Amino acid sequence: MSTDPYAVLLPQIPARVVADPKAIERRDSMEMKETISERPVIVTTAHRGVFFGYADEIDGETICLKRARLCVYWSADLRGFMGLASHGPSDQCKVGPAADIELRAITAVVAVTPEAVARWEAAPWR
């Protein structure tokens, strides 16, 4: 059983009937690692930063985000920063350009829906 809180977002690997269960376990482990890499997340910091980006690892005191974007302002229609993870930024939000960044003083890591990813990728500065 995985302790990863984002495991529910990953596709379920179907059960297989084989002679060597260890071989399947090794292959499934490799498939899971490939699936987990570069997951879209929102990371909040103790300094009030709200960042969207792609993380390989989410454990530890720092998180490296690729193609990270800072949400400088989000509108009330999102009902809080978790709305950015569920729906993505709305037309009234202010989202900065993408850059790779290492974040410290992490307070939350939130999984991002596919719908929200598309809106983050398209969000221009307004």
Inter-residue contact 42 to 109 (CB < 8 Å): yes
Nearest C-alpha neighbor of 121 from the set 10, 45, 49, 40: 40
Which tokens belong to 89? 């930024």
Give the model confidence (pLDDT) of 68-120 as tens digits. 999 999 989 989 889 999 999 998 899 999 999 999 999 999 999 999 999 99
Instruction: Please provide the CATH number assigned to the domain covering 39-122.
Output: 2.30.30.100
Give dist(CA 20, CA 13) in Å, integer.
17
pLDDT of residue 59: 87
Domain definitions of the chain by residue range: 39-122
Backbone angles phi, psi at 70, to 5 degrees: -95, 130
